[in-house]
Amino acid sequence: MATRIELDLVVRRVEGVLVRVLGATVRRGFEPVAVVSAPGREPGTFDLALTVESTRSAEVLSRHLANLYDVHRVEVRR
């Protein structure tokens, strides 16, 4: 059974960053359910709240997203 996972990300405000984040999410076997963005606290960034469903571990996705160039921080909400 799929588990719902919520992640908070801080990403640079650059062209294509959302496409890269969602593409990496889907390629890793996670189904995006919701994406909410807001201006970031730091200049040139924005905050993403990403909700996904999967049978895979949240840490797998967290590690992969953290390795993306324009991703500053990834936290899994517990």
pLDDT at 49 over 80: yes
Residue 58 confidence (pLDDT): 96
Structural domain of 47: 3-77
Q: What average pLDDT does the structure give for the chain?
A: 96
Our CA angle for 10, 16, 41, nearest 5°, is: 25
pLDDT confidence bin for 23, thresholds 50/70/90: very high
pLDDT confidence bin for 1, thresholds 50/70/90: confident
Torsion 74-16-45-49 (CA) sign: negative
Q: Write down the pTM of the prediction.
A: 0.92
CB 15 within 8 A of CB 71: no
Average pLDDT over residues 19-24: 97
Domains held by the chain: number: 1
Q: What is the CATH number of the domain that holds 57?
A: 3.30.70.260
71 DSSP β-pair partners: 11
